[in-house]
Structure 1
Amino acid sequence: MRIDHLLVEATQRLARAGSSSPRLDAEILLGHALAQSRTWLYTWSDREVEDLDRQCFESLLVMREAGQPVAYLIGEREFWGLPLQVARSTLIPRPDTESLVEAALDKATAEQGRMLDLGTGTGAIALAFASERPGWQVVGVDRVPDAVRLARRNGERLGLANASFVESDWFAALEGERFDLVVSNPPYLAPDDPHLAQGDVRFEPASALIADDQGLADLHYLCLTAREHLLPHGWLALEHGMTQDGAVRDVLQRAAYRDVQTRLDLGGRPRVTLACMMP
């Protein structure tokens, strides 16, 4: 079957399966099966697809029809313009998290400094920041060994020598270390959050998604413990759910941070709250 005909059929199947972007999904999966770009698919749309390649595409298509994330199927996701390897041991980087990177960069005005990314996963936040601030030393930590190895591979592939990754349960392996900037996209979904049964989230690791106390437990913990690892006038930046900004600001203010402020994500929803550590 020709490429263009195969894409039409695949798009129809994925639309029936409930994909929110059936044509895009079909193009990405077929490009992966053929080891070609989406542009190549359009340029050579009248080419016949060989049987082995078609079987590979069919396998990917069936898994996508079952709801499995495209990023897991092809093993890659772009974030901040960086191609990152992904794995089922980590969350899939999302565009809204780029708001956290933007907030961190806004506070990183010095030529040099130290930045810490807690729960780094693929290394997306740490590597995006490192790519924009080559004079900064960036450290990403995660308690999952597979995630740490993945983040290291991503850093090596991108050639970002100013980023390093360490296995650590939050600050456990960082005793005595202090940073100019601490950021995190921690678990912030409540155990009964309906989003856990929807879309890609169904296939992502629950430990990276769910927190006790209506999703606020890890956010509260980081607000209180980050003080011990921030330099004077250092900044803490946390991603959170769109209804959690008030609770996060309240904890930060009670913990004697200053300049507490919330930023909106790409959809105009409260997504990142920042606070300054005063001496």
Structure 2
Amino acid sequence: MNIKKWLKKSIKRLSSVDNPKYEAEFLLSYVSKCTRSFIISSDDIELTQKQYEYLNYLIYRRSLGEPIAYITKEKEFWSLSLCVSYDTLIPRPDTEILVEQVLSKIKSNSVLILDLGTGCGAISLALASMCSDWNIIGIDKSEKALTIARINANKLNIKNVTFFCSNWFSNINQKFNIIVSNPPYISNKEIIFFKKDIFFEPFDALISGNNGLSDIKNIVKNAENYLFRGGWLLIEHGWKQKLQVQYLFRKYNFVEIESYKDYGGNDRVTIGKKYDK
């Protein structure tokens, strides 16, 4: 079967996804190791039997809702190519807003940053890639996720990040200039309305109690003890949670509280500064 016929057939099989043509071409590019532009301009080329069978297997997985990032075991974030697995969340473009806000608060080369719930290491590695003098610690309660984070650090040859196991602050015994986190913030009731893709991701990295605010409250409540004077806390949250998160920041003595929108125009990140008593 040639590329043109395979694409036509596969686009129909992916009719339930948002952009079936792009995704079919992406998977074809992944398997053939050819660029999408080459594929589009050379659609009369015949697929080998091995390519045909493997591509159909990948299309089948995608048709069931499995995210492409898990199929290819890779996702780009902050222009970094990151390994991902079923033990890690897939980094979202909107989380780059969190990275941008951290960068806006760094005023010197001597800075200590804590990334809570690092997963595949996306936030830690994005920040570390910007300056080799910054010292960053990424923690997660999942050893399997930390294994992926370390693989990414080695692959990218990033040396100024340390990853270790901690359930939020349980194994933290020092202070930082900046604490950043993309914690679980989806409620049990809310998740049923998401696309089926999300059900392939680790639920304990997605779902939080108390209407999605339990982990955020835990972090905000305790962060003061782990920040230097004038240190900053930055948290990603759900698009309906801005007011509740701002309330928690005020309740636990943060000042200069601001919220920022994601690329879709939804409230996504709230930041605050430790009050200098």
Fold match (TM-score > 0.5) = yes
| Identity across the alignment (%) | 36
Structure 2 partner of 1:239: 236
The whole-number CA distance in structure 2 between the counterparts of 1:198 and 1:238 is 24
Which amino acid in 2 is paired with 1:223? V
Cα deviation 1:138-167 (Å, max 9, x = unaligned): 111111011001001101111111122111
Instruction: Determine if the alignment matches structure 1 residue 198 to structure 2 residue 195.
Output: yes
Structure 2 partner of 1:30: 28
Structure 1 partner of 2:75: 77
Tell me the secondary structure at the aligned position of residue 188 of structure 2: coil
Structure 2 partner of 1:225: 222
The whole-number CA distance in structure 2 between the counterparts of 1:95 and 1:134 is 23
Structure 2 partner of 1:155: 153
The whole-number CA distance in structure 1 between the counterparts of 2:38 and 2:110 is 42
| 1:163-174 equivalence runs, <5 A | 163-174=161-172
Q: Which of 21, 36, 39 is matched with 2:19 structurally?
A: 21
Cα deviation for residue 104 of structure 1 reads 0.8
**Structure 2 residue ranges without an equivalent (≥5):** none
Structure 2 partner of 1:41: 39
The whole-number CA distance in structure 2 between the counterparts of 1:235 and 1:197 is 31
Tell me the secondary structure at the aligned position of residue 129 of structure 2: helix
Structure 2 partner of 1:135: 133
Cα deviation for residue 195 of structure 1 reads 4.8
The whole-number CA distance in structure 2 between the counterparts of 1:71 and 1:235 is 32
Query: Does the 8 Å contact 1:184/1:238 carry over to 2?
Result: yes
Query: Does the 8 Å contact 1:97/1:239 carry over to 2?
Result: yes
Query: Does the 8 Å contact 1:196/1:202 carry over to 2?
Result: no
Structure 2 partner of 1:3: 3
The whole-number CA distance in structure 2 between the counterparts of 1:266 and 1:199 is 22
TM-score, normalization by structure 2: 0.96
TM-score, normalization by structure 1: 0.95
Query: Does the 8 Å contact 1:245/1:262 carry over to 2?
Result: yes
The whole-number CA distance in structure 2 between the counterparts of 1:228 and 1:48 is 62
Query: Does the 8 Å contact 1:79/1:93 carry over to 2?
Result: yes
Tell me the secondary structure at the aligned position of residue 189 of structure 2: coil
The whole-number CA distance in structure 2 between the counterparts of 1:64 and 1:200 is 9
Cα deviation 1:192-211 (Å, max 9, x = unaligned): 11456523211111100110
The whole-number CA distance in structure 1 between the counterparts of 2:191 and 2:27 is 28
Which amino acid in 2 is paired with 1:159? N
Tell me the secondary structure at the aligned position of residue 133 of structure 1: coil
Structure 2 partner of 1:185: 182
Cα deviation for residue 7 of structure 1 reads 1.7
Cα deviation 1:71-111 (Å, max 9, x = unaligned): 10110011111111110011111111111111111111212
Instruction: Determine if the alignment matches structure 1 residue 87 to structure 2 residue 85.
Output: yes
Cα deviation 1:160-191 (Å, max 9, x = unaligned): 1112211111111112x111110000000111
Tell me the secondary structure at the aligned position of residue 112 of structure 1: coil
Tell me the secondary structure at the aligned position of residue 124 of structure 2: helix
Tell me the secondary structure at the aligned position of residue 193 of structure 1: helix
Structure 1 partner of 2:112: 114
**Structure 1 residue ranges without an equivalent (≥5):** none
Tell me the secondary structure at the aligned position of residue 132 of structure 1: coil
Q: Residues 130 and 53 of structure 1: is their aligned pair in 2 closer, same or farther, counting only changes over 3 Å?
A: same
Instruction: Determine if the alignment matches structure 1 residue 251 to structure 2 residue 248.
Output: yes
Tell me the secondary structure at the aligned position of residue 122 of structure 1: coil
Query: Does the 8 Å contact 1:237/1:274 carry over to 2?
Result: yes
Instruction: Determine if the alignment matches structure 1 residue 105 to structure 2 residue 103.
Output: yes
Moved more, 187-196 or 69-78: 187-196
The whole-number CA distance in structure 1 between the counterparts of 2:8 and 2:222 is 53
Structure 1 partner of 2:65: 67
